[in-house]
Amino acid sequence: TPGEVEALEALTRGLLWTVWASSKPTGQRQVRGADVQGVVRRIAEQSGRVRRAEEEVKAHQERQRVVRARANEVVSAEEGLRKCVEEFEGIAKTVEGTLLKVSSYSGRCSEGRRGGEGARCRLVDAQEVVAYSNHVSFSTNGGVRWFGVDGRPLHPPNELDHRFLVPFPHAHSMRLQGGMYSHASKRKPQPVLDPDMVA
């Protein structure tokens, strides 16, 4: 403590003054009968007390360091818990919104089953799905005009419909139409018999 250190300084100054005064003839009369050994003994005792106080201060500082580390760990744990709570709140809001959407959609579907006003959905029969898939299975753009009265396609399944194929390159199309000679055979291309291929 500061008081013990000041007491040690005062004792040390007194000892130094006694030694300095005893080294001069004028000061020997002043220090005659002074207990130098007692002063040294008191200095040693005070120095021991100061050393013990210093050790106590170091131990206290070490305990404070441990307490600060624990406090920092608690603060970081609280921060992590706060982030987890915020994340769970966001997830709960998302789930709540999804449940509200599902419940409102199911309510509209139940109104559609009852034929209620403003119904936006209706139940689809499995036979309707199968019939429609058979209807559009021949091509990706199956209109009614490409099927007969019995529901079968007008084109056989193994016959390719050229309207859905990638067009020929320009030079090949011109050779098919007789607009240019083939450089490979040097002969005039044959006329096209398929009227769909002629532009």
- Structure tokens that stand for 130 in this block: 């199968």
- DSSP designation for 187: S
Q: What is the pLDDT of residue 71?
A: 92
pLDDT at 10: 77
For residue 142, the model assigns a pLDDT of 47
Q: Two tokens at 144? A: 């009614």
Per DSSP, 115 falls in state T
Instruction: Please tell me the predicted confidence (pLDDT) of residue 199.
Output: 52
Could you tell me the CA-to-CA distances from 145 to 18, 30, 149, 151, 197 in Å, in that order?
131, 138, 10, 10, 21
Buried b (16+ CB within 10 A) or exposed e, 26-49: eeeeebeebeeeebeebbeebeee
**Torsions phi, psi for 193 (to 5 deg):** -95, -25
For residue 94, what pLDDT is reported?
A: 87
Residue-level pLDDT at 135: 72
Ordered per-residue pLDDT tens for the chain, 199 residues? 667 777 777 777 777 666 666 666 655 555 555 666 777 777 777 778 778 888 888 998 999 999 999 999 999 999 999 999 999 998 888 888 888 888 777 666 665 555 555 555 567 778 887 787 777 766 555 444 566 777 776 766 666 666 666 665 666 666 666 655 555 555 555 566 666 665 5
Task: Identify the three-state secondary structure at position 153.
Answer: strand
Confidence (pLDDT) at 103: 78
In this prediction, residue 30 carries a pLDDT of: 55
The C-alpha atoms of residue 156 and residue 125 are separated, in whole angstroms, by 29
- CA torsion 45→47→48→49, rounded to 10°? 90
| Model pLDDT, residue 45 | 79
pLDDT at residue number 143: 47
How confident is the model at residue 173, as a pLDDT?
65
